[in-house]
């Protein structure tokens, strides 16, 4: 046991992190500072105060980080059209850097020398919290109770609660939800339970944020999204703050059965896991962002973005938000977004988020050139011959020298 004076804990107010408070106090004989943030998980954060007080915590931080979360993390990530392994919108990954940053800032404010979190030793979140912590405060101590303690079963946890007079509500006492869940403004995730069999279909009553496509309205909803420099700033003409945008899109998407995802993904710690996700707003946002880019980005910068994206996604997924490589990639991405402004019109209908129109004053679409009709000389078709001939030259030389071509 290393010597710890004071530790800042990412505290949800739930049972597990309440146990951690007690366990930290007892095991490390140290003071515990709790930090509870509203990042849009859909639960009240204020009740955490009383719970922390009951556990003897003196320094309690409760904060509404929704705007900062979307503005400084979600939005920059969406500028890159970021998807991990072709499917996952990184809803969990992108919330961790902000938590890590606040843990460290609070540690600095309160004179704490350690941080702690409730993530297990098998997952990605421990990595994300701790890489962030180390990057922002290199000498910080990290306590990851799930890697240390022996409370490895539900029964042991319950016994610990009883022993230490930690109040457990009835539902918790009887049976935990079959799923491990995590939520923030961008998504809610489900793991464990029957999902551990990748062949098993998720049960309808697992999903919380969206209706099924079957249950969604019979008539489509149309929505217009206004972009400025790569970010959505208004919906149907109404100016909104970043987190308000996402809240509204979550509602619109969820109501129309949009954003459910069921995948097997590769964790940074080396194993595959199966997860289900609901990302209603994010799903709409990604499609819309691509659409406005299709009109306003140059081809080569767009292709280069697409080539860099998988790396950028991996960097975020693996927990390296607070790293030079993320900043380097971000610089490249942000450089391209200055003209990514305009309006995208989308149709939402029973699980489908479909782009049906896009317009922009920064549009590079040139109707006078692209037209099948007479273009009045805007484009000289004869240029294509030389273009093709020189592009073919290396292939012709090779073929002329007898190289196999198939």
Restricted to residues 40-99, the positions that interact with a second copy (CB under 8 A) are 81, 85-87
Site for a second copy in 117-146 (CB under 8 A): 120-122, 126-127, 130-131, 134-139, 142, 144, 146
* Residue 150 within binding range of a second copy, rule CB under 8 A: no
* Residue 299 within binding range of a second copy, rule CB under 8 A: yes
* Residue 192 within binding range of a second copy, rule CB under 8 A: yes
* Residue 229 within binding range of a second copy, rule CB under 8 A: no
Q: Which of 257, 163, 252, 167 is nearest to 211 (CA)?
A: 257
Site for a second copy in 272-291 (CB under 8 A): 272-274, 290-291
* Residue 159 within binding range of a second copy, rule CB under 8 A: no
* Residue 377 within binding range of a second copy, rule CB under 8 A: no
128 is annotated as contributing to ligand binding: yes
- Active-site residue, selected from the candidate residues 38, 66, 102, 125: 125
How many other CB atoms are there within 10 angstroms of residue 244's CB atom?
A: 15
Among 25, 27, 110, 363, binds a second copy (CB under 8 A): 363
Give the nearer residue to a second copy in terms of CB position, either 14 or 213. 213
CB 324 within 8 A of CB 340: no
323 is annotated as contributing to ligand binding: no
* Residue 403 within binding range of a second copy, rule CB under 8 A: yes
189 is annotated as contributing to ligand binding: yes
Q: From CA 219, how far away is CA 41, in angstroms rounded? A: 29
Give the nearer residue to a second copy in terms of CB position, either 241 or 389. 389
* Residue 393 within binding range of a second copy, rule CB under 8 A: yes
Minimum Å gap between C-beta 159 and a second copy is 16
124 is annotated as contributing to ligand binding: yes
* Residues carrying an active site annotation: 16, 96, 125, 180
Which residues line the annotated binding site?
Answer: 10-18, 37, 88, 93, 118, 120, 124-125, 128, 180, 189, 265, 277
């Amino acid at each position: 046991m290393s010597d710890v004076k004071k530790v800042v804990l990412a505290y949800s107010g739930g049972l597990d992190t309440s146990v951690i408070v007690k366990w930290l106090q007892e095991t490390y004989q140290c003071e515990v500072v709790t930090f509870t943030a509203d990042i849009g998980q859909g639960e009240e954060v204020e009740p955490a105060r009383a719970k922390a007080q009951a556990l003897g915590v003196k320094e309690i931080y409760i904060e509404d980080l929704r705007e900062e979360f979307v503005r400084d993390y979600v939005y920059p990530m969406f500028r890159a059209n970021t998807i991990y392994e072709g499917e996952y919108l990184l809803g969990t990954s992108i919330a961790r850097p902000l938590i890590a940053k606040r843990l460290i800032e609070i540690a600095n404010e309160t004179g704490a020398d350690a941080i702690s979190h409730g993530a297990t030793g098998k997952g990605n979140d421990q990595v994300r919290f701790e890489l962030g912590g180390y990057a922002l405060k290199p000498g910080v101590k990290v306590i990851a109770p799930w890697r240390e303690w022996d409370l490895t079963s539900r029964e042991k946890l319950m016994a610990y609660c009883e022993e230490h007079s930690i109040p457990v509500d009835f539902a918790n006492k009887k049976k935990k939800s079959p799923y491990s869940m995590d939520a923030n403004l961008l998504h809610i995730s489900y793991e464990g339970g029957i999902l551990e069999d990748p062949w098993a279909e998720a049960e309808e009553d697992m999903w919380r944020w969206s209706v099924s496509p079957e249950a969604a309205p019979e008539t489509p909803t149309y929505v217009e999204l206004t972009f400025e420099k790569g970010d959505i700033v208004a919906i149907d003409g109404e100016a909104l703050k970043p987190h308000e945008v996402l809240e509204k899109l979550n509602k619109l998407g969820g109501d129309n059965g949009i954003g459910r995802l069921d995948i097997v993904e590769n964790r940074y710690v080396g194993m595959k896991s199966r997860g289900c996700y609901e990302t209603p707003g994010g799903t709409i946002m990604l499609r819309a962002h691509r659409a406005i880019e299709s009109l306003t980005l140059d081809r080569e910068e767009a292709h280069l973005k697409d080539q860099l994206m998988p790396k950028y996604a991996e960097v975020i997924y693996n927990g390296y938000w607070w790293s030079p490589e993320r900043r380097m990639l971000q610089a490249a991405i942000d450089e391209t977004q200055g003209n990514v402004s305009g309006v995208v019109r989308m149709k939402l209908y029973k699980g489908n988020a479909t782009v049906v129109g896009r317009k922009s004053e920064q549009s590079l679409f040139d109707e006078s050139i692209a037209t099948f009709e007479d273009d009045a000389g805007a484009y000289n078709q004869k240029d294509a011959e030389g273009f093709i001939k020189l592009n073919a030259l290396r292939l012709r030389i090779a073929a002329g020298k007898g190289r196999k071509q198939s």
